[in-house]
Amino acid sequence: MDILDLRRRTSGTVTHRDDASYEELRQTLVWNGLKPARSPEVILQVADEQDVVEAVRFARSAGLKVAVRGGGHNWVGFSQRDRSLLLDLSALTAVSIDVGSRSARVGPGIRSQELNRLLSAEGLAFPVGHCATVPMSGFLLNGGLGWNSNAWRPGCLNVSGARVVTADGTVVVADEEHDRDLLWAVRGAGPGFFGVITEYSLRLHPEPRAITSNTYYYPMSSVDRLAEWFDSAVTRLPEAVEVSIFMQPAPPQLAEAAEADNGYVCMLSATAFVDSLEEARAVMSVLDESPVLDECLQVDRDQATPIDALLLPSLAAWPVGLRYLADTAWSDSPAEVLRRSRDHYLRAPSRQSFATTWFSTGPRGIASPHPDAAFSMTGRTLTLSYAAWAGQEQDEANHLWHRALVDDLHEVTTGHYIGEVDIVHHPTRHERSFKPENWKRLRELRQQYDPDNLFHGPYAEGEAG
């Protein structure tokens, strides 16, 4: 392997595993404080699309597989693979906005908060990730379940095209007129995609003028009755209302009231993506019909929450440096999911752990079919269960607790969301993140576009490291 040749052919920074700077770089490329033991042979911090072309050709000649990192925000460090050339795309952050056509071309490294600020300045919006620091790369490739996805549709369905470097080092433009099979895969194929996306073309939306949020903090003892009522009440909410129920650590002002419940509260959060406060009040009025409303510890109504404000809490919820486990469960039994989640968070060993159950609303909500995308596994709700803790000495307790939680939810799980499921230690969940026909088509397209398996695909049993 001639590393000097790769350095001559590319503009980015090439780091070999024998270099003194390698281990520090490898560690920083994974956002989670839990670092995988897997080690790429070479890391290329890509400077431009031509770097990707040269790297793919080099990897083929050197007998290396190719792995791709967008922003390192994958919970299990999927991109860190043994015997690979790892391409870090985080520097590809260019954004070009066409206000007239409500479209944009964006690099995979642009992060949700920065993209939203650029769009908002033009009166436009996109279903960016719920976490401010998540880049478009894997977020869109995984499906893109971002803000207001019930109304705007998941981010991947707003992808109108992409520039893709294929396994032979060719740049292909996949859009609705060319390479439609490849575009179908771009829309949700997730980790193991058989190419490198260097640019997305996006369809944008007018920015709502009065995004408004209501927040209801309930004691954990209210979950049973709240869940039973909300199971039917949510069907009365329009798709412009995004609503989630959290099991989360109590805010400081409610800490004393929550102490008997392991410091946890149940928070119902609703956000209306509308153009006036009057409209927001009208579409969210059903939330004040809760039969346990009088049990609320605190209610915050009519909060002005532009998307930038919605992104800010994520910086506190997922601080860099903590050790995280994450898993997901699509389900059509939301009340049972909420009850089971409640029981486990009452016993959580770390009070930094939390869960959110996200609901499909309206006739075109996230549970509706998506025929033009690989993204296919959905349900009435998506529950994202997180364990978060600070020190290595707490690893065993949190792993055991999180495993018990996920196993309990499995009985009412219809599938997983590929963007936040542990497909490294549980490889079978990769397939369970797609409808059977979509999984079959993905495997066929992988054979067509990457017959030699140059790009790392799904993990095999025992490969986790």
Instruction: Read off the pLDDT of residues 381-402 as tens digits, 9 standing for 90 and up.
Output: 999 999 999 999 999 999 999 9
Q: Looking at the domain that runs over 212-428, which CATH code has it been given?
A: 3.40.462.20
Contacts of residue 442, Cβ cutoff 8 Å, sequence gap at least 6: 185, 189, 374, 434
Higher pLDDT, 19 or 79: 19
Average pLDDT over residues 438-443: 96
Return d(Cα 91, Cα 110) in angstroms, integer: 8
Q: Where in the chain is the domain with CATH 3.30.465.10?
A: 95-207
Average pLDDT of the residues of the chain: 95
pLDDT range class, residue 460, cuts 50, 70, 90: low
Residue 225 has pLDDT above 80, yes or no: yes
Higher pLDDT, 321 or 384: 384
Residue spans in the chain of domains classed CATH 3.30.43.10: 3-88
Which residues are bridge partners to 66 per DSSP? 85, 455
Give the pLDDT of residue 209: 98
- The CATH class of 3-88 is alpha beta
3-class secondary structure, 334: helix
**Residue range(s) in the chain whose domain bears CATH number 3.40.462.20:** 212-428
Amino acid at 381: T
User: Quick one: average pLDDT of 432-440?
Assistant: 96
Annotate 182-196 with DSSP letters as a single string: HHHHHTT--TT-SSE
Per the CB < 8 A criterion, the answer to whether 419 and 187 are in contact is: no
% the chain with pLDDT above 90: 89
Residues with Cβ within 8 Å of 360's Cβ and at least 6 positions away in sequence, in order, are 150, 366, 367, 368, 378, 379, 380, 381
Taken in order 19, 21, 25, 27, is the CA torsion positive or negative?
positive
171-175 and 159-165 beta bridge pairing: antiparallel
Express each pLDDT in 67-100 by its tens digit. Answer: 999 987 788 888 899 999 999 999 999 999 999 9
Place of tokens 């059977």: 436
388 forms beta bridges with 324
User: Is the Cβ–Cβ distance between 146 and 112 less than 8 Å?
Assistant: yes
The mean pLDDT value for 160-181 works out to: 97
The pLDDT value recorded for residue 17 is: 95
Residue recorded with tokens 């509260």: 265
Residues 6+ apart with CB under 8 A from 254: 217, 265, 297, 298
Question: Is the model's pLDDT at 298 over the cut of 70?
Answer: yes
Residue 459, pLDDT > 70, answer: no
> What is the total residue count of the chain?
465
Q: pLDDT grade, residue 464 (50/70/90)?
A: low
d(CA 414, CA 147): 23
For residue 391, what pLDDT is reported?
A: 94
Whether the predicted pLDDT of 57 surpasses 60: yes
In this prediction, residue 120 has a pLDDT band, given cuts at 50, 70 and 90, of: very high
pLDDT tens column, 329-341: 999 999 999 999 9
Q: Does domain 95-207 have CATH number 3.30.465.10?
A: yes
For residues 211-240, give the mean pLDDT. 97
Please tell me what DSSP assigns to residue 251. P
